Amino acid sequence: MIDFIKGKIAEKTPAFVVLETGNIGYALNISLNTYTKLVDLIECKLYVEQVFVRDDNPKHYGFFDMDERDIFRKVISVSGVGGSSAMLMLSSLSAAEIAGAVNTANVALLKSIKGIGEKTAQRIVVDLKGKLGKHEGGISQILTTSYNKNRDEALLALVALGFARNMAEKAIEKAIKQQGVSTDTIEILIKAALKNL
């Protein structure tokens, strides 16, 4: 079992990274929170988790820190929550914010995440309360770049997460025009757009 991979970043998007080490490229699904920490790096170390969708079809996920991987492992242990849903959660909220929501039974915050309904949010709280440490939630570090680049990166991230391109574009435009969301920060823009999908 692979615990972590350290290597050169050969390719990256807001939802996907390829790490090259020993002439092998390892493809890993990542969260938006991990992506924001990789954006200026040439090399990195990612903690790895392997999830089997079927016996013959494993998916590999990479995390910048062990806390995020620990939250991921615990969230997918909840019935009805798979790897894709867990990554959407970690792209919408930081690991600390998820832990804070669970520890304070903030079902409303959890169900605001795309794909997490009220019953699933309640199940996450019931199953995990008291098991995610003492995080009270916080604000993630934010990436600042130009308007067009952020808008394009946000669109790529939403498409990579499985949303139709035209729907993702409309969600981003709604976040910018109707809700006044700043385009200076890609993470906030994607989180706002996720709420419109």
pLDDT tens-place string over residues 58-110: 889 999 999 899 999 999 999 989 999 999 999 988 888 898 889 888 898 89
Write down which residue in 20, 40, 63 finishes a domain.
63
pTM above 0.75, yes or no: no
The enclosing domain of 190 has a CATH number of: 1.10.8
Same domain, residue pair 57 and 74: no
pLDDT tens-place string over residues 7-28: 999 999 999 999 999 999 999 9
The total number of structural domains in the chain stands at 3
Mark out the alpha helices in 54-197 (DSSP H runs): 66-76, 83-92, 95-103, 107-111, 118-128, 147-160, 165-177, 186-195
The enclosing domain of 85 has a CATH number of: 1.10.150.20
Burial of 127 (0-12, 13-18, 19+ CB in 10 A): middle
Same domain, residue pair 92 and 120: yes
Dist. CA 116–CA 84, nearest whole Å: 11
Same domain, residue pair 54 and 8: yes
Same domain, residue pair 71 and 59: no
Q: Identify the domain containing residue 52 by its residue range.
A: 4-63
